[in-house]
Amino acid sequence: MLSADPDGRIRVEPVKASGRRDGAPYTIDGAPLAQPLQLHWQPDYPASVPARSREALDACARQIAELLASGRHRIGDRVVQPGDIAVLLPGNQDITELRTRLQRLDVPCVGAGRSSVFALDVARELQILLYGIDHASDEGAVRAALATRLYGLGFRTLKALREQPEAWLDYEQQFQQWRARWQREGVLAVVRELIEQNCCRRRPSSCTAASSCWPGLPVSARARRPAATRRTSSSCASSPTRSACA
């Protein structure tokens, strides 16, 4: 058993807390925190495990948001910030769900989960958009691309295009130009242009911060890699039913 006795089978070495942070103690309403370990008990908990997990995540997110909003908690002279808080969870799905709850409460956070970016809705829409570009002469593929939230063409506009062949030709030519650029410079060059166009159309002030307009979609610097190492369009968007282009 665990023991501080030198003759014990598993010896425990007594330790003391470091004094490195004594000059910046954690305080609540100006008083040093005397009991850092706290347990939160909910007597009326749901019967099912998934429901209990959801309630625990809800409670955790609320407590973090309330702690940050109160201004009562400090480390030294400064108020506790989101970056001062860490949450340990049993699985990647729990991390994703807590992050979603915190974002709803306007609490910025990052997570170390392993969920794939290609599982996001924005990745599916990007795949449809790229498929339309790669099949610029296919009216159905182009219409599907125009209807995505990433491109943003509304139902009425799409419907009106059936009676406006000149306007439709403009879209078709634009998609052909993007396809040609894709083949010359790589797919990410086109993705960057799409993001910039989308941002400038929705929020003109954000034209210089294009990557913020499609949340969750990483825009890699690989767009600048040599042409000899880039994939052609046909290898990345052969069908919208296949995985998104990497």
pLDDT classification of 223: cutoffs 50, 70, 90: very low
The answer to whether residue 96 sits within a structural domain is yes
**Last residue of one domain, picked from the residues 74, 100, 115:** 115
For 199, the token pair is 């941002």
Given 67, 89, 115, the domain boundary residue is 115
121/111 same-domain check = no
Residue 68 lies in a domain: yes
pTM for this predicted structure: 0.45
Residues 55 and 95 in one domain: yes
**CATH at residue 126:** 1.10.486.10
- Residue 14 CA to residue 88 CA, distance in Å, equals 26
131-157: pLDDT as tens digits: 999 999 999 999 999 999 888 888 888
Rounded mean pLDDT, 103-111: 86
Q: Which domain holds residue 84?
A: 45-115
159 inside domain: yes
Provide the number of structural domains found in the chain: 2
Whether residues 135 and 230 share a domain: the answer is yes
Q: What is the pLDDT of residues 82-97, one digit of tens each?
A: 999 999 988 888 888 9
CA distances from 222 to 131, 186, 226, 246 (A): 20, 9, 9, 11
Locate 23 and state its tokens.
């000059």
The pLDDT assigned to 48 comes to 92
Residue 11: pLDDT above 50? yes
Are 101 and 128 contained in the same domain? no
> Could you tell me if residue 166 is inside a domain?
yes
Q: Which of 71, 99, 115 is the last residue of a domain?
A: 115
In a domain, 3, yes or no: no
User: 58 and 167 share a domain?
Assistant: no
Same domain, 146 and 230: yes
* In a domain? residue 17: no
- pLDDT tens-digit profile of 165-196? 888 999 999 999 999 999 999 998 999 888 88
Same structural domain, 83 and 125? no
- Same domain for 67 and 168, yes or no, is no
Average pLDDT across the chain, whole number: 79
2, part of any domain: no
Residues 143 and 230 in one domain: yes
Does the residue 199 lie in any domain?
yes
Q: Percent of the chain, pLDDT > 70? A: 75
Each residue's pLDDT tens digit, 12-63: 777 887 888 788 999 999 999 988 888 888 888 888 999 999 999 999 999 9
Beta-carbon-side half-sphere exposure of residue 34 (alpha carbons within 13 Å): 3
Q: Are residues 135 and 99 in the same domain?
A: no
Distance separating alpha carbons of residues 178 and 175, to the nearest angstrom: 5
- Answer yes or no: do 95 and 130 share one domain: no
Same domain, yes or no: 143 and 215: yes
CA torsion, ordered 44, 106, 86, 101, to nearest 10 deg: 40
Residue 71 pLDDT more than 90? yes
Kindly indicate the confidence band of residue 2, based on its pLDDT and cuts at 50, 70 and 90. low
